[in-house]
Each structure stands twice: as structure tokens, then as C-alpha cells.
């Protein structure tokens, strides 16, 4: 882990072995993808728009993978965030494939809409599955331009997350972030959200 005091993120650099990352990618290659977008309207129903989010996604049936990411999140929560998180797993791991031109523009994983499942998201998790040399662009950026009161140092208004294969990043679900467009190759990643029984306040 990279931080010794409260911080809006925790990074486990190169936590997963390269062969494990490649096995996870290979386990999903034969499955069908859907085009991920953003739901508009109240709750978790409505139309899907792709102007904010354009990425191939699928769920995973790898139970051990879901459990492992919950474990890393609980470690980060214990040593850093100290949030009240639920024992109930509300959302499964999502496998993402960013081909050339695909992106996820600035957004938060938390929603103020009380009828949305995202209302109780507290911690977001992302895993870098691809070798950093297999693609260009596609950086995960965490935006802290409006976080001047949070006690940590920064050189610019965005944190560029490490690209090393197997890196796990856990961050506050209220944090605005984005995945820049991929300009060459393919970027594979995992995302997961860990909830509380009640929203963050």
C-alpha cells in the first residue's frame, strides 16, 4: 500500500501476478460482451447513453476473483478509509475491455439518487489486467481539483494511476475519475464496488 495516513485512495502496486492477470483475461475472451453505457432516469432503469461511457463489459462467474477483491478492499478500508461497509455483497466484479477509441469520461460511482444501487457505494476497486506496453492511452485518472481540504500532496489536479500489470486501486466512490480513450491496442481491467448499509455522509 502507498499511504500511511487517510487518503482518498489506496494502491496495491503489482499485487496480482502477471500469469494470474493473463489467466483472468483468457477466462473471459470466449464470452459475449455488452456495450457499457450510463443509465439515465430514476433508479436502475431507463435508457442507456454511450456519450459518457463507451466500453465492452461483461460479468464474471469467477467466485474466487470476487472474493479476492473484497479482501483487498477490506484491507484498504482497515488501514485507510475506516468506512462502515456491509457484509452483503451487492454488486459483482465487472470485466472491461477498452478497444481503440473507447473511454469512460469524468464520473462518480456514487449516486445521490436513493432509488439507485449506486447510492450505497462507498469504495470503488479497479484492477489493471493488461501489460502496460500492450496499449496506449487508456490511463485511469482520479481528479482532485476540488479536493483541496483533503490532506495529501499533489503535483497537478489529476492522479494518473499506475499502469503496472496486476495493480489494484481502491478509492472513495465519490471521487470523480475517468479512463482516457485508448489510442492503440486493448486495455483489460476489472472494476468492483463495495457498499455500506447506508450511503456515505
pLDDT score at 186: 98
Higher pLDDT, 36 or 131: 131
Q: Is the pLDDT of residue 120 over 90?
A: yes
pLDDT score at 40: 60
pLDDT confidence of 4, banded at 50, 70, 90?
A: low
pLDDT score at 3: 52
Percent of the chain residues past pLDDT 90, beyond the cut: 70
Mean pLDDT of the chain: 88
**Residue 143, SS3?**
strand
Q: Identify the burial level of 179 via C-beta atoms within 10 angstroms of its C-beta, where 0-12 means exposed, 13-18 middle and 19 or more buried.
A: buried
- pLDDT, tens digit (0-9, with 9 covering 90-100), for 88-97: 999 999 999 9
Higher pLDDT, 78 or 4: 78
pLDDT score at 58: 95
- pLDDT, tens digit (0-9, with 9 covering 90-100), for 105-118: 999 999 999 999 99
Measuring CA to CA, which residue among 41, 50, 185 is closest to residue 104?
Answer: 50
pLDDT confidence of 53, banded at 50, 70, 90?
A: confident
pLDDT score at 153: 46
Q: C-alpha distances in angstroms, 156 versus 54, 108, 147, 160, 175?
A: 26, 20, 12, 10, 16
* In 7-105, alpha helices (H): 18-28, 63-76
> Could you tell me the pTM of the whole model?
0.88
Do the Cβ atoms of 145 and 182 come closer than 8 Å?
no
pLDDT score at 200: 74
Q: Is the pLDDT of residue 26 over 60?
A: yes
Amino acid at each position: 500500500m502507498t499511504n500511511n495516513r487517510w487518503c482518498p485512495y489506496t494502491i496495491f502496486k503489482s499485487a496480482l501476478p502477471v500469469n494470474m492477470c493473463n489467466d483472468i483475461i483468457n477466462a473471459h475472451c470466449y464470452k459475449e460482451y455488452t456495450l457499457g453505457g450510463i443509465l439515465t432516469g430514476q433508479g436502475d432503469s431507463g435508457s442507456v447513453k454511450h456519450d459518457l461511457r463507451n466500453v465492452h463489459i461483461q460479468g464474471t462467474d469467477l467466485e474466487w476473483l470476487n472474493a479476492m477483491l473484497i479482501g483487498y478492499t477490506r484491507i484498504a478500508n482497515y488501514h485507510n478509509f475506516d468506512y462502515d461497509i456491509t457484509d452483503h455483497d451487492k454488486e459483482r466484479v465487472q470485466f472491461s475491455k477498452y478497444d481503440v477509441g473507447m473511454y469512460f469520461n469524468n464520473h462518480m460511482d456514487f449516486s445521490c439518487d436513493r432509488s439507485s444501487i449506486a447510492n450505497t457505494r462507498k469504495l470503488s476497486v479497479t484492477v489493471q489486467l493488461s501489460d502496460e506496453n500492450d496499449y496506449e492511452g487508456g490511463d485511469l485518472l482520479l481528479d482532485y481539483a476540488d479536493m483541496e481540504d483533503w490532506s495529501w500532496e499533489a503535483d497537478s489536479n489529476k492522479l494518473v494511476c499506475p499502469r503496472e500489470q496486476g495493480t489494484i486501486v481502491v478509492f472513495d466512490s465519490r471521487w470523480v475519475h475517468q479512463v482516457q480513450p485508448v489510442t492503440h491496442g486493448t486495455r483489460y481491467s476489472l472494476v468492483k464496488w463495495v457498499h455500506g448499509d447506508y450511503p456515505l455522509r
